[in-house]
Amino acid sequence: MITILVIITTLLTPITTNTSSLPWNILSKDNFARKLTTASSSVESAATDFGHITKIFPSAVLNPSSVQDITDLIKLSFDSQSSFPLAARGHGHSHRGQAAAKDGVVVNMRSMVNRDRGIKVSRTGLYADVDSAWLWIEVLNKTLELGLTPVSWTDYLHLTVGGTLSNGGISGQTFRYGPQISNVLEMDVITGKGEIATCSKDMNSDLFYAALGGLGQFGIITRARIKLELAPKNAKWLRFLYTDFSEFTRDQERLISETNGLHFLEGSVMLDHGPPDNWRSTYYPPSEHMRIVSMVKQHRVIYCLEVVKYYDETSQHSVNEEMEELSDSLNYERGFVYEKDVTYMDFLNRVRTGELKLKSKGQWDVPHPWLNLFVPKSQISRFEYGVFKGIILRNNITTGPLLVYPMNRNKWNDRMSTVIPEEDVFYAVGFLRSASFDNWDDYEKENMEVLKFCEDANMRVIQYLPYYASQEGWVGHFGTRWNIFLERKYRYDPRMILSPGQNIFP
Ligand code: FAD
């Protein structure tokens, strides 16, 4: 526990802005004129992120307007006698300073966005070439203009393409389409040597797979070619409540294993803490709140299965019948099924409403001590017993969304950098906590307790959006794949310049 407190204290200690690690003449170089800034407002905002747990100050922020600007900066660092760290910052929605560059340069990727270019859709090829600084919501808006859409999403769309491709990009579509990193055809990447390369599964394939889920370690992604399909118009969105965890997971696992036309499947845990809705989604009819709350009170923990089928004019006539048939086959608590019919856009952008509500109450920019895990299927019952019904009920502090849903391993590719469990099916479990500046470390302690429980029980649980305070943690995270990760680092970023905020190569 002492080590944990030392780590937390270290992370919270503000670091004075310091330009001494940058080459003395960098600010006067013509090619960075007016693009590289040490203004305190820019440096301050690059020092924080959505997590609001760390404050890590860069010396300067680059607002690039072209790929060449980024290449020049990386080359400058690579060629300097004492190189300086630099990190791409997408939308800064990391939770532990992953896009920070202490005493280095943060590259504000969003300054690259140009509304007149930056996304080119090929209707015949069914793909979009997207500048990596674009938010997924912007990509969706553009592709929908042509009746097309990407197929794999995150629950929240105000994240950059480069940011989610550096992690994985998962949501309820992952069981069927794979994560976002499985739906990229080609990328342009600037390596840590300042060399720009186009890569795909057939061209520079090692760099391609390294950068997908690569935590920003091997290069800065500047363009990604994203797979598209014809866009549906509407979404039939159902939720089913369960009191029995094994029935809940049995139904989830069956649904992701068969061809039933579902496009989305997630699940969540509901605890006895107020109304059934949370910031992530307003869903249940107000008239049902009392009934749901009393079921949660009676059982203390219940589970919600969430499924979606998209449809349009051609499938409208059959979607109700198909969903009815599917409902009949499930073992939820009879009488606790809910249905919504929304547009495709409203479904994908569902978290935005909650975000705006929280922002208006000043509750968005608060600490977020999140913990995201991949739990092998064989361990999920032990996890439920020890964590949801054990640690979480005992501590009685967890509020907010608690996700649990399965995905198929065969939709991932082992050559990509993201680490996933060995089993054919594994669960994503997300503790999406909102805290206050006074109490966030209570949640952090609970996160540590969960991780320790999993480790002591040898459950082979893997962190998603991982955070480790030391390299030892990372070596354990990558396991047998650590050597590949290390070799790739030496190959593509030998001077260890890129994304130091991940804390992998101190
Ligand atoms: P940043 O936080 O800016 O950067 C993340 C990392 O990627 C950093 O290390 C950075 O240096 C690196 N990076 C950024 N851009 C590039 C680039 N172009 N090239 C190379 N490296 C780069 N994740 C999911 O998978 N599914 C979800 O449903 C989901 N929901 C979320 C909801 C909310 C409200 C939030 C805050 C986060 C959610 N996330 C989810 C996590 C999110 O995908 C990651 O935090 C992601 O990194 C955020 O993207 P960003 O653009 O803000 O990246």
pLDDT along the chain (506 residues), means of 10: 40 47 73 88 97 97 96 95 95 98 97 87 97 98 97 98 98 98 98 98 98 98 98 98 98 95 96 78 88 94 97 93 96 97 97 93 95 98 97 90 96 98 98 94 97 98 96 97 98 98 95
pLDDT of residue 24: 66
pLDDT computed for residue 16 by the predictor: 41
How far apart are the CA of 135 and the centre of ligand 1, in A?
10
In the chain, where does the domain assigned CATH 3.30.43.10 lie?
Answer: 2-108
CATH 3.30.465.10 residue spans of the chain: 119-230
Which of these, 185, 186, 194, lies nearest to 219 by C-alpha position? Answer: 194
For ligand 1, atom 43: residue with the closest CA:
164
Residue type, 184: V
Q: How far is the CA of 93 from the centre of ligand 1 (A)?
A: 5
Quote the CA–CA distance of 98 and 452 in Å, as a whole number.
Answer: 23
Q: Is the CB of 159 under 6 A from ligand 1?
A: yes
Instruction: Supply the pLDDT for residue 34.
Output: 84
Domain spanning 234-464, CATH architecture: 3-Layer(aba) Sandwich (3.40)
- What residues does CATH 3.40.462.10 cover in the chain? 234-464
In tens, the pLDDT along 203-256 reads 999 999 999 999 999 999 999 999 999 999 999 999 999 999 999 999 999 999
Give the atom of ligand 1 at the shortest distance from the alpha carbon of 222: 18
Q: How far is the CA of 441 from the centre of ligand 1 (A)?
A: 22
The pLDDT value given to residue 259: 87
H helices present in 89-226, as ranges: 136-144, 161-165, 174-177, 205-211
CATH class as words, domain 2-108? alpha beta
Report, as residue numbers or ranges, the catalytic residues.
93, 155, 266
- Ligand 1 centroid – CA 318 distance (Å): 37
Q: By alpha-carbon position, which residue is closest to atom 8 of ligand 1?
A: 99
Q: Are strands 60-62 and 105-108 parallel, antiparallel or unpaired?
A: parallel
Look at residue 20 in the predicted model and tell me its pLDDT. Answer: 64
Does residue 154 line the site of ligand 1, with CB under 6 A? yes
Cβ neighbours, 10 Å, residue 118: 18
For ligand 1, whether the C-beta of 73 sits within 6 Å is no
Question: Hey, whose CA ends up nearest to atom 18 of ligand 1?
Answer: 162
Answer yes or no: is the C-beta of 191 below 6 A from any ligand 1 atom.
no
Ligand 1 atom with the shortest distance to the CA of 169: 25
Candidates 238, 216, 171, 246; CA nearest to 430 is 171
The reported pLDDT for the residue numbered 132 is: 98
The sign of the CA dihedral 36, 37, 43, 48 is negative
Closest C-alpha residue for ligand 1 atom 53: 163
Ligand 1 center to 137 CA (angstroms):
14
Report pLDDT digits (tens) over 358-409: 999 999 999 999 999 999 999 999 999 999 999 999 999 988 789 999 999 9
Q: Which CATH number applies to 119-230: 3.40.630.10, 3.30.413.10, 3.40.50.11820, 3.30.465.10?
A: 3.30.465.10
Q: Whose CA is nearest to atom 35 of ligand 1?
A: 93
Is the C-beta atom of 132 inside 6 A of ligand 1? yes
| pTM reported for the whole predicted model | 0.95
Tokens of 151: 């197929």
